[in-house]
């Protein structure tokens, strides 16, 4: 149903509209506010993040977070969850948008949850965006001089460039359980018949467990059957009910075929998805958010239309290059999956119990080598 638009209302004008408040969108909004831009940030979902995926906050992302005064989202851990990172950043965005708690600069900063971008109309002086309040069903229009698309591909239906497959997909089920881990670190098992991998991770402060069930790439998978198998394993391990509804997700890699050269800068999954096994999607989006605002600031300083457009084009190309690199790593990860399987204990998933799962010692040593030492709290 189309919402009612009040076209007689004064048209709000902002320097930067940020669509989507995942990690990248939050960082872009905070960076735009720090630059002194009037900023409007909208998110189609509510204020509480729920995605349980494990993520690595890589050095480039930590450096980007330092620039917006968020010094340690992992609180000293090497890994954390996407839910934890999103919620930490969303609370920071809420504080910046609250006049009672906001620190300088005091440029306008508006924040709206349950608000979607439903129309984008490029103009010479900016982008005319139509926003829908999903709770009230009403619409309003905003003229943004620049738009940061952090909506994960949802704006493709509005005519934005569409991402294309950039690598094979594989289906995973991921869930978090409010069960204290009975194991010390990463444990799991592989099914020698189906080549499916089941793994368990202790979460931040060891308050819960995250479970993954990953299928081999390029296989036709019955999502409902995979979820039932996942639930059966969780029952045998006495994990209790999941904290989020279960979904079988095809994590196929997607990537924009080319960069844009207009006032809409895509970041994060709107540019390209990073394979879930790499755990670096949030880090890429965080770096993208800083890059996007830097590019907008450079374009605003350049007084010539051609120079301004050149800055925006270079920014989009730099962000796309980052995601091309992650797409290559994702394809390599899946190509090496048969070797990756071999480090796990073997057992049929129909017979998994707490005593069946075990640590993959070679893999954990590799993770420590690749990720380095744990970040120290600031």
d(Cα 65, Cα 79) in Å, to the nearest integer?
A: 16
Mean per-residue pLDDT for 212-227? 94
**DSSP-derived pairing of the beta strands 197-202 and 209-214:** antiparallel
* In the predicted structure, residue 1 carries a pLDDT above the cut 70: no
d(Cα 296, Cα 284) in Å, to the nearest integer?
A: 18
For every residue of 110-128, which 3-state class applies, written as one string? EEECCEEEEEEEEECCEEE
Q: DSSP code of 278?
A: G
| 44-62 core/surface letters (b: 16 or more CB in 10 A; e: else) | beeeebebbbbbbbbeebb
**Res 206: pLDDT:** 84
Q: Are 107 and 37 in contact (CB under 8 A)?
A: yes
Give the pLDDT band (50/70/90) at residue 21: very high
Around Cβ 28, how many Cβ atoms within 10 Å? 33
Euclidean distance between the first and the last CA atom of the chain, given in angstroms as a whole number: 49
**Res 378: pLDDT:** 44
Residue 257 sits at the vertex; the CA angle it makes with 254 and 262, to the nearest 5 degrees, is 115
* In the predicted structure, residue 81 carries a pLDDT above the cut 90: no
**DSSP-derived pairing of the beta strands 171-177 and 164-165:** unpaired
* In the predicted structure, residue 295 carries a pLDDT above the cut 70: yes
Question: What ranges do the domains of the chain cover?
Answer: 4-164+254-330, 171-250+343-371
**Res 23: pLDDT:** 97
Of 78-82, 241-245, 249-253, the range with the lowest mean pLDDT is 78-82
How many Å is the Cα radius of gyration of the chain?
22
Of 62-71, 119-128, 364-373, the range with the lowest mean pLDDT is 364-373
Q: C-alpha dihedral over 244, 246, 248, 253, to 10 degrees?
A: 0
* 269 three-class SS: helix
* In the predicted structure, residue 377 carries a pLDDT above the cut 60: no
**Res 277: pLDDT:** 87
Give the pLDDT band (50/70/90) at residue 375: very low
* In the predicted structure, residue 318 carries a pLDDT above the cut 70: yes
Q: Could you tell me which residues come within 8 angstroms of residue 365 by beta carbon, excluding any fewer than 6 positions away?
A: none
Of 15-24, 26-35, 75-84, 141-150, the range with the lowest mean pLDDT is 75-84
Closest CA to 161 of 170, 153, 151: 153
How long is the chain? 378
Computed over every residue of the chain, the mean pLDDT equals: 90
Q: 298 versus 365: which is more confidently predicted?
A: 298
Please name the residue that has the structure tokens 């508006």.
Answer: 110
**Res 101: pLDDT:** 73
Residue 200 sits at the vertex; the CA angle it makes with 198 and 206, to the nearest 5 degrees, is 175
Closest CA to 28 of 124, 150, 199, 125: 150
**Res 78: pLDDT:** 62
364: part of which helix (H) or strand (E)? helix 361-371
Most confident of 46-55, 217-226, 244-253, 282-291: 282-291
Please name the residue that has the structure tokens 């992992």.
Answer: 74
Please name the residue that has the structure tokens 């608000």.
Answer: 115
Instruction: Tell me the C-alpha to C-alpha distance, in Å, between residue 248 and each of 37, 52, 80, 93.
Output: 40, 13, 22, 31
Q: Are 31 and 16 in contact (CB under 8 A)?
A: no
Q: Are 120 and 158 in contact (CB under 8 A)?
A: yes
* pTM of the full structure: 0.91
pLDDT tens, position by position, 88-141: 999 999 999 998 776 666 679 999 999 999 999 999 889 999 999 999 999 999
* 65 three-class SS: helix
Mean per-residue pLDDT for 359-365? 67
* In the predicted structure, residue 376 carries a pLDDT above the cut 60: no
Tokens of 12: 């709000």
Around Cβ 172, how many Cβ atoms within 10 Å? 22
**Res 99: pLDDT:** 82
Mean per-residue pLDDT for 330-348? 90
* In the predicted structure, residue 333 carries a pLDDT above the cut 60: yes
86: part of which helix (H) or strand (E)? helix 82-97
| Conformation bin of residue 372: beta by default, left when phi > 0, alpha when psi is -120 to 50 | left
Phi, psi (rounded to 5 degrees) for 221: -125, 135
Architecture of domain 4-164+254-330: 3-Layer(bba) Sandwich (3.50)
Count helices and strands in the chain by DSSP H and E runs: 8, 17
């Amino acid at each position: 149903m189309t919402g009612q638009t009040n076209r007689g209302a004064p048209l709000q004008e902002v320097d930067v509209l940020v669509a989507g408040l995942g990690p990248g969108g939050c960082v872009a909004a905070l960076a735009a506010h720090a630059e002194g831009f009037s900023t409007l940030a909208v998110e189609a979902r509510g204020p509480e993040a729920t995605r349980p995926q494990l993520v690595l906050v890589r050095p480039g992302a930590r450096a980007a977070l330092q620039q917006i005064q968020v010094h340690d989202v992992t609180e000293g851990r090497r890994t954390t969850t996407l839910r934890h990172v999103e919620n930490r950043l969303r609370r920071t965005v809420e504080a910046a948008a609250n006049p009672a708690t906001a620190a300088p600069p005091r440029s306008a900063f508006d924040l709206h949850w349950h608000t979607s971008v439903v129309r984008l109309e490029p103009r010479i002086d900016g982008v005319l965006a139509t926003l829908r309040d999903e709770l009230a069903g009403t619409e309003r229009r905003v003229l943004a001089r620049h738009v940061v698309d952090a909506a994960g591909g949802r704006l493709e239906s509005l005519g934005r460039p569409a991402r294309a497959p950039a690598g094979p997909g594989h289906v995973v089920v991921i869930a978090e359980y409010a069960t204290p881990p009975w194991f010390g670190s990463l444990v799991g098992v592989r099914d020698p018949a189906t080549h499916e991998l089941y793994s368990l991770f202790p979460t931040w402060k060891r308050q819960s467990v995250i479970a993954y069930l990953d299928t081999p790439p390029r296989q036709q998978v019955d999502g409902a059957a995979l979820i039932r198998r996942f639930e059966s394993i969780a029952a045998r391990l006495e994990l209790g009910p999941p904290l989020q509804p279960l979904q079988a997700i095809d994590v196929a890699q997607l990537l924009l075929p080319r960069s844009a050269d207009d006032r809409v800068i895509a970041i994060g999954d709107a540019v390209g998805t990073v394979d879930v096994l790499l755990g670096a999607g949030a880090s890429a989006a965080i770096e993208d958010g800083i890059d996007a605002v830097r590019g907008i600031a450079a374009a605003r300083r350049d007084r010539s239309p051609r120079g301004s457009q050149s800055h925006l084009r270079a920014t989009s190309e730099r962000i796309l290059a980052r995601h091309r690199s992650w797409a290559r790593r994702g394809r390599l990860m899946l190509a090496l999956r048969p070797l990756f399987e071999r480090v796990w204990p073997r057992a049929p998933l129909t017979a998994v119990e707490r005593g069946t799962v075990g640590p993959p010692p070679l893999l954990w040593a590799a993770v420590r080598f690749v990720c380095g030492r744990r970040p120290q709290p600031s």
